[in-house]
């Protein structure tokens, strides 16, 4: 099994139960999650030696976040304690034509205020095989952007493969700032994950005439952008999940990958959604797992799509599925028949 | 913003959690609601000065009902305390081919026993723009029917626009009694809301060959009945929501309106249902809001249909959506994509 | 109303709430159920004098299982107390392409260790009209297989009609053992319920080219197997429910019956699933009720299919529907409209 | 085991969870209970053949009330279905110096409107050993008072021992009316249970200078009143539980009994209260059980006090304790040590 | 009824259910509260025209905080929307020798960043009778300290009586800073509430040898400090609640007051605690209500102590008791007997 | 920090919420625990390198048990997967004079059926400082008794200090069998923990006239037995917690220790109980931690008593307290005052 490093923010997630709106809620369901943390949990589930690097406050909320990761076998040895607070996000799960609502309360979190000196990156990346980050981390603060580049430099010094999930968050930064910072970071990246919207907002690639709201997918447009991306940044792979949002309750879910040579579009799943948060992270984790396992580009993509389809049926940020469960779905059994 | 008066019954709603049948329930979810109260909450959410007029018992259950309205900014200055009990309805939420079940326990409620002298209607309607009531209120008792007419007379004395939602409830009265009482009350009404079944049961208009159980909709039949209704009662608008009950879990939802001149059928939404109770009330409120805002008949109808489609995704009787959320859906985004 | 005897295991069911995986659960929903117990509850609901025969430990968990049956009017006079434990099954409800997971922990249960001398079968079957068992009971232990045959002999001595639900459980025994034991027991059976997979695994009849995972149904294959079954065992009826597993959330549901002469395929329902456990048992109960009531083979089948379609919308093992509710669905109203 | 008849009202109890006030509650805990029903459940738990006689509406709420009794082995063969509604009581559990609050909503219940012709009392009392009723039943309506006397006459015709729990409810009737009706009914009573307040309010016996609010108990005063009661009504036993209300959380609990000859005061328990509703009913049931078992007056009283002390530690109206548990406490082990 | 203004922070409170530690919690109970907001709710419950002045973010969490106040009849007309976030506090309820734990996450809240120009204080205080604030508000930020003084100046310009609850919070500021800022604000104060620890930490008065941890109370020391306080600041009254912390589950609770002339110590209550947060606020509100009602100093104190004793039995920050309930307890009935 | 090994059974604990009896429960609270596992969690909380050695089934329930330990930082590297089932215990929490009830369903668990060859004990104990086991493990099966001795031999080979908690469980074995097996195992033990009842039932030492049921404690008797125990087995320390069971809600809690020379009785705490299960385990862990830290015998005992007093306030088997929290209580602050 490989040693995989992820770095980013883990947040306290507070969600209303049972389709309640915020104003109705007398209780919030509690879990912990965040883009890179979710990837770490998935990889740990698949048996990899997954490290999550972050900073959390030295209080019971920070402790609880670490415990949540530890429960799922994520190595927390490089999590630093200090700073003022754990970032929070509030989630109201939508249904049908009512979209889920996310309210961020993550400013001034411990990781947003962390200093590169908090971490010994060369020690962290010693013997590591893979490093994964997302476009969210450099977006949360200028300090976090600096921190991310320091981590990337250390990863490269240690010959670690690097993947990024572009993950544009319009509530965190402008497209201008995103492009300025992310374009620079792309020099360290081997595998780039991001949909058309990300590619445009974060890296400035003009999409074709795809309209993400309508749910239409124009594979041709994707291939065109992927080509541009590889030409500019020399990525080994460019990958995108393809979500067709029929409604907040039902989505189509597939993905495509391009290696500069061949463009491949996966099988598509129609999903009855339980919790779509973390869907993209479980996709990234599936892809990384597939590539680390030495699967072909196509097989890795199918593994990633199946893994993340399953995530949509599980409450919380984390994807709690085993390799066996993913492989069963890849193998074609989506019938949902009870095993007994 | 307009001053809108609604009058009727607010009930304690006791519903089983998670598709349980009554016999399984160890707890009931608690909320408060009722046709006109639901309309008041919607209008308050949209920023209108919404009054709800009723009588509740002077005990903690009555207090809780008022607090529930106040929480949503409904003006409760004209709610009277006294009488014996708050009406109750028990709700078991259905799924698929199992229909939701409502058990009424509302006889002898404070408002059913209220006397016109409990209310100073001329004070209530002073400066008001709109009055809304439903066919449920005159159905709950003879006293309530008298009370309703007193309110309507006062509304007219004060030049208030009046809307009704016919809302036939076969468990509360016979079609004969409904027709006798409601036909008389129609003289005060400007905007009449009701589907074919209501039009027949409450006002005696013969429907065409529409079969509401089968989910088929015959728009031509609607237009024909609407014409008859305007001819007889000189309504400004006749309106109906159009529900296609595919199952307890999935419905089609649209509406039509007629002003004596033009007949308009709205966009149709296919809804994955969370809670359909209060759907019709949220439709009435959306229509009233649209008309008060000076929207065209068509735009008001589209606003009403979108608002009430959203209601079906929210637990409880009340529709807790903002104008912005309704406008987004009217604008065409039903994709349910997470905003973050 | 008829006197119906069922015998088998009642288990403690522990299920995770709200689509949680086991590893997430801080609480389990508790109910009690098991193939034959579920049939008894349904028949008691329909007004029959339903007895459930089993052995449960003389501790509060055993007491709770009996109380659960008694609540639904099942006669528990012949339930014996003793032995070590109540069998348990853990259930994780799936969604979409994630299947429900059942973990059995039922070895060494009181009924698995019960001795024929624990029961006075001639007294139990005195005046009885029907005896129902499933292929699960002889599978749980060698002693239970012996016990089952003792019960069957007594049933026949008392001229009681016997039905079986083959219900192959691969986690409990091998096909070899199943065939050896069950083939012998078929001599006592009048009505045999089981799908193609059961017919093959339990009785060794070769299916046609039906692939149960794909959801395809080959009625012709069914008819062919049914014919073989009647030829060999002289059953009065052979019956099978037909489940099309589109996903863990949506199934198609119908059934077929054969009397050696006519083969009949019922209406098909498309079900949005709340809880599919006990679906087959509610089908068996519906069929038994229909036949006891003197319905025609076709009408009994339609009753059984409608009853069990409704079961899929109710949480827990038991089917809590009345005759009136089943008849309404048989009558064609699957619209799920609220009655009020 | 004896055949015991109880008759009265069973209500739906709706209580706020966890010390919430009504205005805070988003859910109510649901159970069913009522003075005589609670006695029936206790007696069934002790192994007696306990019948509860009442009328409940023919709807799912009435069905659920019956199911709740049946679960605890109460014989429901003489429960009649019909009428309009099941009585309801709302309960807010107090703590420390905040008293529990009960809001009754029980007017016009099925049993309050029941007619003597609904019941075949001679059949009901055939072979019965004991009949128990409380002062609540004749208080709920004039019809119920008539019904109660009819039952009492039939009981006497059938040589059944009769006990009453006076249970004065000031929210249901005045002392004048209570005295008028109850004084007449005392002619049928053998065993009279009631504290000083009941004796005064219901039967007009002047108490000594006991102040029930202060928690002081004056045994001498009790003995004096008991003597008067036996002189007037020729009861076999007069009995009273003695509650010292230190606060809503902690009570002292004992009892006294008088047979016209000897006055006996039981052991006193200091109770940390979980739920005190039904405490008096569990006391009455314990006494009846003790007397039916042929215990001495003193032993029956100690059994009753221990049984009802245990009730205070159990949520809901019903006392779910076994004979063995009561006997252990009578035997002196109140240490609450875990058994394992 | 009087017009009372309170100003401060309202926070989202997230508490673990049922004595869970943070690391165990899968859900948090949600309510909203804060020192001055809690006072406003109490006063609104008593029928006063209570205004709460604050700033909350323009998002669903801010909306929910306002709705929570509105539900309890607090006038929210002067609540401003804007800023970044609502302050949060996490609460873990202790038991026995385990103290409750509060984790603050309130930095950068909307009110902490509010500007005096956000509020029109002269309009706010127009016609007002009383203004209440606490030592928490100036502690949350330098801007909030400035804001507080602006409000105080406006209050004095409008002849409004001013009360303060000193409420030292060591997690928010140092004693040095507290003394510097609070000493200055005392010039505007008429009624000063604070215990010995507050008097020392916030205002620098040396306590006698009272040790608040041990639970000993030295009334003489209190009187001495109160004298010093009145000498220095010319308060009309100095008041302190007196908490004897036997454990996290049981407290003694009384209070003392001094008007420069007479020193009075109230009745003491021994409380079984449900939720002690907001206890001090409910005491301040009770005192203000008593003084506004024209009660004597002693009667106002007894009202305040009784009101706040009741608060300790209610979950959440708010004290939901009526005048009648407080008066009953003042009148001496602490027996907790059920009323029915 | 030290390396500590514990070995034993971890069970699924299923407890009824809120003082419910088993027959009432519609859900069970879920946690995982067991004597030695609980000790491991405490030691991990205190910062020690705590290993738990066991065997759990290779299914989701076994996985969940491991995850529960991992969450609390227990090293699970030596947990073996296999066998049939995880042991279960059902818990009903008592109150006042109603004792908590435990129903064991632990026969045939994976660890009870484990073979010494499943573990490489020399590897496990390599570099370890301490080994702790309880009298429960050899009681669960003959194989487990053999396994325990194998572990003890390996511990001694590796110069590991050994502690035992005698923990007599009458539902698992007879005193005869307990004495035969445990007497043999005592040769490996350095620190022996057990109360008088344990000493008698497990090791055959005659107690003085202490009556554990009555709650009386006879320290002299303890000292006498401790002397006998050291004389016979040459223990370094003999230790006992002293529980005074006033009721299921309130206990006195202290401890005594003897080193062959000095007998010391700790401070006593009066505890309002939240959950007493695991109290003894948290005591053992506190003692081990104190001794590993080089504390004096008396200080280690005070640490153990304070730590375990706190456990009684925390739901679940595990004691989730930090060193700082224990030290605060040892330091004398049991006031339960909120820290903020």
A339 pLDDT higher than 70: yes
Which residue(s) pair with E105 in the sheet?
Answer: E88
Which residue(s) pair with C270 in the sheet?
Answer: C252
- DSSP class of A186: G
Any domain includes A333: no
Q: How far apart are CA B317 and CA B303, in angstroms?
A: 19
Phi-psi region of A47 (alpha: psi -120 to 50; beta: other; left: phi over 0): left
ipTM value, please give it.
0.94
Which subunits sit against B, judged by 3+ Cβ pairs under 8 A?
A: A, C, D, E
Average pLDDT over residues B279-283: 98
Q: How far apart are CA E247 and CA E165, in angstroms?
A: 24
Q: Which residues contact B44 (CB under 8 A, 6 or more apart)?
A: B50, B72, B73, B74, B75
How many CB atoms are closer than 10 A to CB E211? 11
Q: How far apart are CA F211 and CA F205, in angstroms?
A: 15
Best to test chain C binding among B98, B211, B277 (most C CBs inside 10 Å)? B98
Closest-approach residue (CA) in chain D for F92 = D338
SS3 for E303-329 is HHHHHHHHHCCCCCCCCCCCHHHHHHH
Per-residue pLDDT band at A209 (split at 50, 70, 90): low
Q: How far apart are CA F242 and CA F219, in angstroms?
A: 9
Q: Out of B14, B22, B60, whose CB is closest to D101?
A: B60
Which of D10, D142, D9 shows the shortest CA–CA distance to D67?
D10
Q: Which residues contact E52 (CB under 8 A, 6 or more apart)?
A: E6, E7, E8, E10, E36, E37, E40, E69, E74, E75, E76, E78, E79
Any domain includes A265: yes
Structure tokens at B224: 């024909």
Percent of chain E at pLDDT exceeding 90: 90
- DSSP class of C338: P
Contact call for E28 and A22, based on CB within 8 A:
no
Residue with tokens 């043999």: F184
In terms of Cβ atoms closer than 10 Å to its own Cβ (0-12, 13-18, 19+), residue F55 is: buried
In this structure, are residues B243 and B234 in contact, taking their beta carbons and an 8 Å threshold?
A: no
Q: How far apart are CA C252 and CA C246, in angstroms?
A: 7
Kindly list the residues from chain A whose CB atom is less than 8 angstroms away from the CB atom of residue F68: 71
Best to test chain D binding among B63, B71, B105 (most D CBs inside 10 Å)? B105
Per-residue pLDDT band at E215 (split at 50, 70, 90): very low
Q: Supply φ then ψ for residue F249, to 5 degrees.
A: -100, -25
Cβ-based interface (< 8 Å): residues of D facing C = 67-68, 70-73
Q: How far apart are CA C14 and CA C34, in angstroms?
A: 13
pLDDT of residue D207: 60
In this structure, are residues B251 and B241 in contact, taking their beta carbons and an 8 Å threshold?
A: no
Any domain includes C263: yes
What is the rounded end-to-end Cα distance, in angstroms, of chain E? 31
Average pLDDT over residues A137-164: 98
Any domain includes C222: yes
Per-residue pLDDT band at E220 (split at 50, 70, 90): confident
Parallel, antiparallel or unpaired: strands D269-272 and D263-265: unpaired
pLDDT of residue B215: 44
Structure tokens at C203: 């009785």
Provide the 3-class DSSP secondary structure of residue C192. Answer: strand
Q: How far is CA B327 from the centre of its chain?
A: 21
Q: Out of B96, B99, B276, whose CB is closest to C272?
A: B96
Contact call for D71 and C70, based on CB within 8 A:
yes
pLDDT of residue C187: 97
Any domain includes D289: yes
Tell me the H-state helices in B193-322: 196-203, 219-233, 279-292, 297-311
Which subunits sit against C, judged by 3+ Cβ pairs under 8 A?
A: A, B, D, F
Q: Give the least confident one: B60-69, C143-152, E107-116, F204-213.
A: F204-213
pLDDT of residue B333: 84
Which subunits sit against D, judged by 3+ Cβ pairs under 8 A?
A: B, C, E, F
Q: Give the least confident one: A202-206, D285-289, E16-20, F256-260.
A: A202-206
pLDDT of residue D300: 98
In this structure, are residues E271 and E312 in contact, taking their beta carbons and an 8 Å threshold?
A: yes
Phi-psi region of F185 (alpha: psi -120 to 50; beta: other; left: phi over 0): alpha
pLDDT tens-digit series, residues A248-294: 999 999 999 999 999 999 999 999 999 999 999 999 999 999 999 99
CB pairs under 8 A between D and F: 84
Q: How far apart are CA D80 and CA C231, in angstroms?
A: 50
Structure tokens at B176: 């004969």
Buried b (16+ CB within 10 A) or exposed e, C108-142: bbbbbbbebebbebeebbeebbbbbbbbbbbbbbe
Q: How far is D313 from chain E (nearest CA, A)?
A: 16
Which of B310, A107, B339 shows the shortest CA–CA distance to E57?
A107
Contact call for C67 and F105, based on CB within 8 A:
no
Closest-approach residue (CA) in chain D for E333 = D213
In this structure, are residues C281 and C319 in contact, taking their beta carbons and an 8 Å threshold?
A: yes
Which ranges of chain F have pLDDT less than 70? 207-217
Per-residue pLDDT band at A308 (split at 50, 70, 90): very high
Kindly list the residues from chain E whose CB atom is less than 8 angstroms away from the CB atom of residue A21: 60
Which of F297, F301, F299, F307 shows the shortest CA–CA distance to F328?
F307
Q: How far apart are CA A283 and CA E310, in angstroms?
A: 53
Q: How far apart are CA E16 and CA E14, in angstroms?
A: 7
> What single string gives the DSSP state of each residue in C222-263?
HHHHHHHHHHHH--SEEEEEEEEES-SSEEEEEEEEE-SS-E
Phi-psi region of A34 (alpha: psi -120 to 50; beta: other; left: phi over 0): left
pLDDT of residue E206: 81
Q: At what angle do helices B279-292 and B35-45 cross, to 10 degrees?
A: 50
pLDDT of residue F242: 95
Q: Out of B23, B94, B276, whose CB is closest to C313?
A: B94
Contact call for F315 and E20, based on CB within 8 A:
yes
Q: How far apart are CA F243 and CA B253, in angstroms?
A: 66
Q: How far is D316 from chain E (nearest CA, A)?
A: 15
C-alpha angle B11-B12-B18 in degrees, rounded to nearest 5: 125
In terms of Cβ atoms closer than 10 Å to its own Cβ (0-12, 13-18, 19+), residue B107 is: middle
- CATH number, domain of D90, equals 3.40.1190.20
pLDDT tens-digit series, residues F130-183: 999 999 999 999 999 999 999 999 999 999 999 999 999 998 999 999 999 999
Which of D236, D227, D219, D182 shows the shortest CA–CA distance to D204?
D182
Q: What is the model's pTM?
A: 0.96
Closest-approach residue (CA) in chain B for E64 = B71
Q: Out of B97, B102, B246, whose CB is closest to C339?
A: B102
Q: How far is C287 from chain B (nearest CA, A)?
A: 19
Q: How far apart are CA A141 and CA D144, in angstroms?
A: 74
Contact call for A24 and B316, based on CB within 8 A:
yes
Per-residue pLDDT band at A214 (split at 50, 70, 90): very low
Any domain includes C175: yes
Contact call for C337 and B18, based on CB within 8 A:
no
Query: Mean pLDDT across chain D, nearest whole number?
Result: 95
Element (H, E) at C269: strand C269-272
Q: How far apart are CA A44 and CA A323, in angstroms?
A: 11
Residues found in chain F: 340
Q: How far is C72 from chain B (nearest CA, A)?
A: 9
Any domain includes F37: yes
Which of E310, D88, D139, E311 shows the shortest CA–CA distance to B86?
D88
Kindly list the residues from chain B whose CB atom is less than 8 angstroms away from the CB atom of residue D89: none
Q: How far is D7 from chain C (nearest CA, A)?
A: 20
- DSSP class of D202: H
Best to test chain D binding among F20, F97, F139 (most D CBs inside 10 Å)? F97
- DSSP class of F26: S
Provide the 3-class DSSP secondary structure of residue A261. Answer: coil
Q: How far apart are CA A35 and CA A169, in angstroms?
A: 12
Kindly list the residues from chain F whose CB atom is less than 8 angstroms away from the CB atom of residue E95: 272, 274, 313, 336
D175 pLDDT higher than 80: yes
Q: Supply φ then ψ for residue B72, to 5 degrees.
A: -100, 20
Contact call for B73 and E70, based on CB within 8 A:
yes
Contact call for B67 and E68, based on CB within 8 A:
no
Average pLDDT over residues C310-322: 97
Closest-approach residue (CA) in chain B for E67 = B71
In this structure, are residues E8 and E137 in contact, taking their beta carbons and an 8 Å threshold?
A: yes
Cβ-based interface (< 8 Å): residues of F facing E = 18, 71, 269, 271-274, 309-310, 312-316, 320-321, 325, 329, 333-340
Closest-approach residue (CA) in chain C for A306 = C97
Which of E4, E48, E43, E53 shows the shortest CA–CA distance to E285?
E43
Q: How far apart are CA D294 and CA F7, in angstroms?
A: 54
pLDDT tens-digit series, residues B208-260: 555 555 444 578 889 999 999 999 999 999 999 999 999 999 999 999 999 99
Dihedral sign from CA coordinates of E170, E175, E176, E179? positive
* Total domain count, chain F: 1
What is the rounded end-to-end Cα distance, in angstroms, of chain A? 31
pLDDT of residue F167: 95
CB pairs under 8 A between E and F: 84
Which subunits sit against E, judged by 3+ Cβ pairs under 8 A?
A: A, B, D, F
Average pLDDT over residues C242-249: 94
Structure tokens at D245: 């209300």
In terms of Cβ atoms closer than 10 Å to its own Cβ (0-12, 13-18, 19+), residue C293 is: middle
Q: Containing domain of residue C67, as a range?
A: 3-328
Q: Out of C309, C320, C335, whose CB is closest to B23?
A: C320
Q: How far is D122 from chain E (nearest CA, A)?
A: 34
Structure tokens at F109: 């668990």
A196 pLDDT higher than 90: no
Q: How far is E1 from chain F (nearest CA, A)?
A: 35
Q: Supply φ then ψ for residue F272, to 5 degrees.
A: -85, 115
Q: How far is C248 from chain D (nearest CA, A)?
A: 30
pLDDT tens-digit series, residues D103-136: 999 999 999 999 999 999 999 999 999 999 999 9
Kindly list the residues from chain B whose CB atom is less than 8 angstroms away from the CB atom of residue E71: 67-68, 70-71
pLDDT of residue D196: 86
Provide the 3-class DSSP secondary structure of residue B32. Answer: strand
Kindly list the residues from chain F whose CB atom is less than 8 angstroms away from the CB atom of residue D329: 97
Average pLDDT over residues A178-200: 95
pLDDT tens-digit series, residues E176-186: 999 999 999 99
Q: Supply φ then ψ for residue A133, to 5 degrees.
A: -140, 175
Any domain includes E336: no
């Amino acid at each position: 099994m490989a040693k995989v490093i992820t770095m980013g923010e883990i947040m306290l997630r507070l969600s209303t139960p049972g389709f309640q709106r915020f104003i109705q809620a007398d209780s919030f369901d509690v879990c912990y999650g965040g883009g890179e943390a979710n990837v770490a949990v998935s990889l740990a589930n698949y048996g990899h030696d997954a490290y999550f690097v972050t900073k959390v406050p030295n209080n019971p909320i920070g402790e609880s976040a670490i415990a949540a990761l530890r429960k799922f076998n994520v190595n927390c040895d490089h999590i630093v304690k200090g700073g003022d607070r754990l970032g929070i996000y509030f989630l109201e799960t939508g249904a049908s034509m009512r979209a889920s609502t996310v309210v961020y309360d993550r400013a001034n979190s411990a990781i947003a205020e962390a200093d590169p000196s908090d971490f010994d990156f060369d020690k962290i990346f010693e013997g590591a095989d893979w490093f994964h980050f997302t476009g969210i981390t450099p977006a949360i603060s200028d300090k976090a952007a600096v921190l991310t580049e320091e981590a990337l430099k250390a990863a490269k010094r240690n010959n670690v493969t690097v993947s990024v999930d572009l993950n544009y968050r319009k509530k965190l930064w402008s497209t201008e700032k995103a492009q300025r910072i992310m374009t620079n970071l792309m020099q360290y990246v081997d595998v780039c994950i991001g949909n058309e919207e990300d590619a445009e907002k974060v890296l400035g690639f003009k999409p074709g005439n795809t309209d993400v709201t309508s749910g239409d997918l124009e594979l041709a447009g994707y291939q065109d952008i992927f080509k541009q991306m590889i030409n500019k940044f020399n990525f080994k792979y460019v990958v995108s999940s393809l979500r067709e949002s029929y409604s907040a309750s039902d989505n189509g879910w597939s993905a495509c990958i391009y290696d500069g040579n061949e463009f491949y579009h996966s099988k598509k799943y129609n999903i009855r959604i339980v919790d779509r948060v973390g869907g993209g992270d479980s996709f990234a984790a599936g892809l990384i797992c597939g590539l680390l396992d030495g699967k072909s580009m196509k097989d890795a993509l199918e593994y990633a799509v199946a893994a993340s389809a399953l995530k949509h049926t599980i409450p919380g940020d984390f994807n709690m599925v085993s390799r066996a469960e993913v492989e069963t779905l890849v193998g074609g059994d989506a019938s949902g028949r009870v095993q007994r």
